[in-house]
Every structure is written in structure tokens, then in C-alpha cells.
Amino acid sequence: MSQDGEDHAMESKEGETNMAAWLLGIKTLKIQPYHLPPLGPHDVKVRVKALGICGSDIHHFKTMRCANFIVKKPMVIVHECAGVIEEVGSEVKSLDVGDCVALEPGISCRQCTLCKSGRYNLCPKMKFFGSPPTNGSLANKVVHPADLCYKLPENVSLEEGAMCEPLSVGVHACRRANVSPETNVLIMGAGPIGLVTLLTARAFGAPRIVITDVDDRRLSIAKSLGADKTVLVSTNIEDVSVDVGEVQKAMGSDIDVSFDCVGYNKTMSTALNATRSGGKVCLIGLAQSEMTAPLTPAAAREVDIIGIFRYRNTWPLSIELLRTGKIDVKPLITHRFGFSQKDINAAFETSAGGGNAIKVMFNL
């Protein structure tokens, strides 16, 4: 089953009109028909019930691009989603009609060296919901491979199911950095990804977590979610040395791992300088496609730089962390909207505006 625009131009076998939110231009969204491909033997049809807006969606909305991914034609937007199975393919044995599921949004080729080695998130032929040119999931229904749809326990809501996608970024990052009960963690940025990284690092056993941001409101939320210390930093690159001193003071001991959840020259420079010799810096945020950072001094102290791109094999653990209550993502959901033209416009403007908005959720 393919996820490209040509396949999605095909009529669904029921002939019903499936509606979706299409990105037509800068800050221009319109609900229009979205015709589903035929159901393959290993696919399921999902009625989408909950979707969250991601930072990448906002980049697409505001600029028609995110990093090197450029929107060149109308595209259905959004990728954080969960829903209810409406139909299963002839070979699907793991799911039944009526099951509530969280959807992993990326379909890899399953054939290349990276896929076969288990690093399928790096597949060069990845087709990822809402990442051009692949259509997303802000729609009434989608068709998706069954093995990328994960059944939710009864005590995990559909909204929480949609939150498995951003949570997976934190899980993948903490795995890559080997966060453990012996790891003191610094997090740069208290946006949604910084906050789920905070929750995940704590679930992985990190004994002390310091988080920074330029917004006091975000820091107060981070504090309420369990950050040991918060540090208000500036956006001025000339303040790096001051900020380094502040975060090291706040930690009170060595910083073993730093997560840059922003991705600017300033945040990466701060992380590299603040992390102890022999420590690790994980770059999660991709705000700049290129950056200037003090690599030579970091290399001389053997500070490892770890790239983080999406996730792999994270949904089962993310769901288990939610099921057991080791992580509670519900406080991150600050705004909810329905699925009308007025609602989608308001939701994206709310998310793009920042302020007290963390995770903006659609309920269909």
C-alpha cells in the first residue's frame, strides 16, 4: 500500500466522501474530499478520532517547509493520531473492527539495508504522514498498514494514543543516550518535545533533571511535571557562558547527557559547553538546517554528539509507560478543537501563537 498523492486520488470502495484538512499555501488550510486507496490485505481502515499538532506541522503551515522537507503541492497535514478500526484487510489477524489504536505514521520500504538492520526510521524511501509529499492524517479516515497500528489498553485514551507519537521521540532519544538512574540530564527547551523528554528521562530513572527555556510559563509547566530545577535563558548567543554557568549551578553536579530540543546555534553551544567531559549531547530539535557550534573544544573533551531523527520500535514501550502510569501526558494537552473549517484555522493559529499552548488536540 502506497501513501503518495496518486494512490490517494483513487476512490474508496464504499464511494463515501472522506474529508481532510489540506494545506494549500502559507497559512491556508481547507477541508476538502480525500479519497482513500483500496484496502490492501495487510491494511486497516481507521476512523481517526484524536490528532495532535506538532511543531513540524506549524513549520509547514507557516512556511510550507520544515528543514529540507518542502511542500510543493496540496497536502493533507498532521501525523500524531489515534482512532478506531473500521475495516481490516483479508490477511490481518492482530486487529479487529472496533479496536482503538495508535498509529505510527512512517511507512518504510522494509527492503533497504537500514530497514533490514532495524534502523527503519532512517529509510530513504520513508513515507511519513504529513511530511511532503506524503499526505497526513487530519481526516475522517485513513488506510494504514496493520503492523503500524498498535492496540490501546482500556485505560489509555485515544488522546493519549495520539500522544504516543511525540512521546516516542523522547523514548528514542533516551534510549540513544542510554539514560539510566546514573544519568543527570539537561534539557534545552520546554516545548512539547522537551517536556516529553523530561517525562521519559524521569521514567528511565534519571535522578536529576534541569530544563531551560526563554519563557517562564513553559518553565513553570516543566516544574509541575517534575523538573528538579528550571533556568530562564536568553536568546543572545553572547550569553552562552553565562547560561552554561547557570545550568551547571542548577544541576549541582556533572551534566551527563544534554538534550537540545530546540536546535539553534545558541542552544547547541550551551549544551556542548555545559555537558561534562565524556558526556553526550543529543540533538533533537531541527530549528536550523545548518548551525555553528564549538565542535573542536567538545571533541577535545570527548563529548559525543548523537543525532535523533524521529523514532523506531517505540510504540509498545510508550503505550506501556502510559498504561502503568509511569508517564502521564494528559497535562500536556492544553487546547482541544473539533473538525470544522473554523476549528482547524483556530487550532493552527493557537498552536502557532505559542503562549500557553503546549499540545493542541483535534477530537473528531
Query: Could you give the CA distance from residue 112 to residue 125 in angstroms, rounded to a whole number?
Result: 9
Is 186 in the same domain as 235? Answer: yes
Query: For the chain, how many helices (H) and strands (E)?
Result: 11, 20
Query: Which is more confidently placed, 7 or 84?
Result: 84
Residues 232-237 have a mean pLDDT of 95
Count of domains for the chain = 2
Distance CA 230, CA 220 (A): 8
Assign residue 23 the CATH number of its domain.
3.90.180.10
122 domain-assigned? yes
Whether residues 355 and 273 share a domain: the answer is: no
Same domain, 92 and 175: no
pLDDT digits (tens, 9 = 90+) for 69-82: 899 999 999 999 99
Determine the 3-state secondary structure of 172 from DSSP.
Answer: helix
Upper half-sphere CA count for residue 262 (Cβ side, 13 Å)? 22
**Single-letter amino acid, residue 72:** K
The model's pLDDT over 276-335, given as tens digits with 9 standing for 90+, comes to: 999 999 999 988 888 999 999 999 999 999 999 999 999 999 999 999 999 999 999 999
Rg of the chain, C-alpha, whole Å: 20
Q: Which residues contact 325 (CB under 8 A, 6 or more apart)?
A: none
Nearest CA to 4 among 73, 102, 65?
73
CB atoms within 10 A of CB 14: 12
Phi, psi at 107, each rounded to 5°: -110, 110
In which domain, by residue range, is 254 found?
Answer: 170-307
